Structure 1
Amino acid sequence: MKNWIKIFALTAFSTQMYAQKSLTIDEAVSYALENNVNVKKAKIDQTIAQQKVKETVGIGLPQVSGQAKYTNYIKIPVMFVTFPGSTEVSEFPMAQKQNINTGITVSQLLFNGSYIVGLESAKTYKETASLIEEKTEISIKEAVMMTYAGVLATEENIKTLEENKRVLEKNLNDTRQVYKTGLTELQSVEQLEYSYKNLSTVIENLKRTKNKLNNGLKYLIGFPLEEKLELTSTFDEVLDKNKQLIARESYDFSNHIDLKLKQNQVRVNQLLLKLEKSKALPSLSTFFSTNANALGSSLDDLRWNYPTLWGIQLDVPIFSGLQRHWKTEQAKLNLVKAQLDKEDAEKQLQSEYYQKATDYENALASYNTAEDLVKLSSEIYRKQNVKFKEGLGTSFELSQAENQLYEAQTKYYQAAIELIQAKVQLDKAKGIL
C-alpha cells in the first residue's frame, strides 16, 4: 500500500512539473514578469526606494548616541609652574591615574528646509523607481509576445514545408519509377531531387532557428534553458487577436509610461529648485546631554560627577558669495528644460502613434495579400502537379510552381510575424501594452 502511495505521489508531482512547463502566451508574459532578471532588479530598486524614504524620515527623528571611555595613565602628565618671586619650579599633576567618562546625547531637529524638501524628494524617488519598474515590465512583455509569436510562426512554417516535402518526395519516387520505364528523362528526376534536397535544407535551417528562438524565449521569461518548454497557444489564436483593422482616433496619452516619466522628471526638478531655495532658510535644533565622569588614583577611590545640559541651536546662512543665487538660477533653467522635454514627449507620442498605426495598416494589407498569394500559388501548383503526372508538363515547370508556392508560404509567415509585431508596437505606442 505504501508503495502505491509513493508511486501516486511521484506521478502527481511529475504531472505537476510537466504542467508548469506548458505556457500560453499570456502565461509566458506572467511568468516573465515574475522571473525575468531585469524585472527582478527593477523590483529590488523599488524596495530600495521604499527603504530610502524611511531612511530620510529618520533624519527628523530623535538622534541618540552614547559613549563610554576608560583611561589608565601609565605615566601621568604634569605641568611645571614657577611662582612670581621664586626660582623654584613646582610640579603639578594634570590628571588622575584612573578616569571613567560616560554620557548620552540626544538631539532633535526642529526645523530644516532641506529636510522637508528631502522628504518630498524621497517620495518622488520612490515614484521614479515604480515607473521604471513599469517601463521594464512593458519592454519585457513586448519582447516575450514577439518572441513567442516568432516560435509559433516558425513551427507552422516547418509543418507546412514538411507537408510540401512529403508531396515532393512522392512525386520524386513516382518520377523515378516512370524513368525506369523510359517514359521520362533523367533531367526530370534530377530536377525533383534538387528541389527535394533544397527543401530539406530549408527545413533543417528553420528547425535550428526555432530552437534559437525558443532558447531566447526561455531566457526572456527566466525559464531554465536545460528544461523543455511547451507553448500551448496556437499560431492562429495569436494571429486572430492581431489582424483586425483598428480605426485611428485621438488618443489620451496621460497614462503612457513615457509621459509619466517625463512628468516625474518635472517634479524632480521642481524639488531641486525648492531645495536650493530652502538652503537660505535657518535651521533649528535642540539637544540634551548627560554624563557620568569619575577620576581617582585607583578604582577603589573614584570621585564621581554628573554634568547635565540642554540647549537650542540656530544656524542662519547669511552670505555665501552668491553661490546659492546662481545654483538657484541653474535649478530654474533645468526645470524649464524638463518642462520642454515633457511637452516634446507629448508631441512625440502622438507622432509615434500615427506612425505605428500606419505601420500596422501596411502590415495588415501585406498579410492579406500574402494570404491570397498562398491560395493562388497553391492552386497553380496543384494544377501543374496534375499536368506533370499526366505527362503534359515538364519537371522544370513543376519546379517553378513549387518555388513560387514555397516563396509565397515563406512570405506569408513573414507577413504574419510582421503583423503581430506591428500590433504589439501599436499597443505600446498607445500605452496599453
Structure 2
Amino acid sequence: MKLNISVVLGILMCLNATAQDTGKVWGIEECVNYALENNIQIKQTALQVEANKTSQQSAKWDIAPNFNLNSNYGWNFGLNIDPVTNEISQARRQTASLNLQGNWVVFNGLRKHYNISKSNLDYLAALYDLEDIKNDISLNVAASYLQILLNKEILVVAKEQERVSQLQVNRTTKLVEAGASPKGDQLQLEAQLARDHQNVIASENALTISKLQLANLLQLENPDDFEISSPDLDVPEAALVARDPASIFATAMDLQPAIKGAETRVESSEKNEAITKSGAYPTLSVVGQVGTSYSDQILEPAGTETVNIPQPTYDQNGQVIFIPFSQTVPIGPYEEKKFGNQVGDNLNEYIGLSLSVPLFNGLNVHSNKQIAEINTKQSQLQLEMEKNTLRQTIYQAHADAKASYNSYLAAEVTVESSEESFKYSKERFEVGALNQFDFENAKNSLAIAKSEMLRSKYDYIFKTKVLEFYLTNQIKL
C-alpha cells in the first residue's frame, strides 16, 4: 500500500459542501465516504474497471459466430468482364453485389476459452486496485484528521500555560504596587507571559495550517469555513501491541486487496501463456455465404406469346408428318431487368469448412510464448514484492505502535510528576521561597510533558488504527 500525496490529492471533496453549509461539522466517516465518492483517482480507476468489464463481455461474446454484410455498386468503362453474366464487353455497365458472410471458429487451441478466463481475472484485479486506492484514501484521511485533533489539544495546553502566566502577572503586579515585591519580578513574569502568548499564536497557526493542508487536498473554495468534530478518543488497549506481528501479517495476507490483486495478475499471466501456446494449434472454422448480384446489361422481354411450332414425327406407315407444338416465346422490346428481380434470380449460397494449420510464421508463436513466460515471472516477482512490502509495513507499524505506547506510558508518568512539581513550585513561588527562573522551568516542563503526552497519544492511536486496518481492512476512529 502506497501512502503519498498524489493519492490523497483531492480526496476530501466533502469540504465543498461546507461552502454552502457553514454550520456543518464533519466527522471522519462523513469525510471518508464523501471522498470515496468524489476522488478523481478513484473515478479514473472505476473507469478502468468498467473498461475491463467491457473486455470481459467482449471475450465471452467472441465464441459466437461472426456475420458480416458486404455490398458494392460501381461503374465499368472500357473492356471489362461483367461479374454477373461473365461476358466480355466494352460497353459501359453498372454492377452491384450483396453478400452475407458467416464464420464460426470451432477449434483454435482453446484460445477463446483461455481469453475468457484471462479477461475475468483482469476484471477482478481491477476491482482489487479500486479497493486498494480506497484503503489508501481512508488511511490518509485518518492521518490528516488526527493531526488536526492533536493540534487542537496542543493549543489547549498552550492557552492554559498563558492563563497561568496571566494569573501570576496579575498577582505580582499587586505585590509590586504594594511594595512587597521588586519590579524585576513583574517584568520577568510579563516576559514569560509574552513567550506563552507566542506559543499560543504558534499553536493556532499550526492548527490553521493543518486545516488548510487538509482543505487544499480537498480543493476547497472557502477553507475558512471548514470545521471537523472533536471526538473524545480513548487510548486503545495494548492488545494489538502484545500480539505477534507475524499473526497480523498472516491475516492481512488474506484481506489486503494489494496482495489479492497481485495474486490475480499472476493467474492472468499464466492464462496469457496458454493463449500464446494455442497459436501453434490448427484453427478449424465453419464458413458460409449468401450472395446476389446485379448488372444493367441483363435484359428481359416486355412480354411473351404462345406460338405453334411444327414438330416432325412419323405416322403408322413410317411417313414423316408435322404436328403443331405450342411454345411460349419472349417478345420485344427488350428492357433492362429490374434490380428486385435480379436479386432473387442471381442468389447463390455456400457453406463449408476452413482449416488453417500454422507451419512457419517467423517464430512469432515461439517468441510470444517466451515473452508471456517472462511476464509471468515478473508478475510472480511483483507478488513477492507486495508481500515483502506488506510484511515490512506491518512489522514497522507494530514496532512504531509499541514504541508509541511505551512513550505514552512514560509521558503519563512525566505529566503526573510535572504537575506535582509545578504545584509545589507554585506554592513556594507564591510565598517567595522559589525564584522566578526555577518557577518558569517547572511551568515549562509541565507544558512540554503535556505536549509530548498528546503527541505520543495520537501517534499511538494512529499506529493502532493502522494495525486494525490490516486485520479488518477497515479503519474507524
Does TM, normalized by the shorter one, top 0.5? yes
Match of 1:417 among 458, 468, 477: 458
Q: CA deviation at 1:230?
A: 3.8
Q: Does 1:30 align with 2:33?
A: yes
How many residue pairs end up in the alignment?
404
CA distance in 2, matches of 1:190, 1:167: 16
Conserved 8 A contact 2:292-2:347: yes
CA distance in 2, matches of 1:152, 1:301: 91
Q: CA deviation at 1:409?
A: 1.9
326-335 or 120-129, which moves further after superposition? 326-335
Q: Deviations over 1:21-40 (max 9, x none)?
A: 43333343333322333333
SS of residue matched to 2:280: coil
Q: CA deviation at 1:126?
A: 0.5
Conserved 8 A contact 2:65-2:105: yes
What corresponds to 2:257 in structure 1?
A: 257
Q: Show structure 1 runs of 5+ residues with no match.
A: 1-13, 81-90
Q: Deviations over 1:363-396 (max 9, x none)?
A: 1000111122222222222222232222222222
Conserved 8 A contact 2:296-2:337: yes
CA distance in 2, matches of 1:151, 1:340: 39
179-188 or 167-176, which moves further after superposition? 179-188
Conserved 8 A contact 1:285-1:313: yes
- The 5 A counterparts of 1:78-93 are 78=79, 92-93=89-90
CA change 1:212–1:94 in 2 (3 A) is farther
What letter corresponds to residue 355 of structure 1 in structure 2?
A: Q
CA distance in 1, matches of 2:230, 2:285: 65
TM-score normalised by L of structure 1:
0.81
Match of 2:373 among 320, 325, 332: 332
Match of 1:104 among 100, 107, 115: 100
Larger radius of gyration: 2
Q: Deviations over 1:297-325 (max 9, x none)?
A: 69983462333333332221123344433
SS of residue matched to 2:336: coil
- The 5 A counterparts of 1:225-240 are 226=223, 228-234=225-231, 236-237=232-233, 239-240=234-235
What corresponds to 1:247 in structure 2?
A: 242
Conserved 8 A contact 1:35-1:223: no
Q: Does 1:427 align with 2:468?
A: yes
Q: Deviations over 1:172-222 (max 9, x none)?
A: 233233333343334323322332222222222322322332344456678
CA distance in 1, matches of 2:353, 2:124: 36
Q: Does 1:214 align with 2:218?
A: no
SS of residue matched to 1:22: coil
SS of residue matched to 2:242: coil
Identity of aligned residues (%): 21
Conserved 8 A contact 1:191-1:399: no
- The 5 A counterparts of 1:126-137 are 126-137=123-134
Q: CA deviation at 1:343?
A: 5.1
Conserved 8 A contact 1:243-1:364: yes
Conserved 8 A contact 1:377-1:404: yes
Q: CA deviation at 1:46?
A: 1.9
Conserved 8 A contact 2:22-2:225: no
Match of 1:143 among 118, 140, 143: 140
CA distance in 2, matches of 1:57, 1:129: 18
SS of residue matched to 1:29: helix
Conserved 8 A contact 2:412-2:453: yes
What corresponds to 2:165 in structure 1?
A: 168
CA change 1:216–1:115 in 2 (3 A) is farther
Q: Show structure 2 runs of 5+ residues with no match.
A: 1-16, 82-87, 300-334
What corresponds to 1:85 in structure 2?
A: none
Q: CA deviation at 1:296?
A: 1.2
SS of residue matched to 2:294: strand
CA distance in 1, matches of 2:237, 2:27: 16
Conserved 8 A contact 2:240-2:467: no
What letter corresponds to residue 124 of structure 2 in structure 1?
A: E
CA distance in 2, matches of 1:201, 1:72: 93
184-193 or 114-123, which moves further after superposition? 184-193
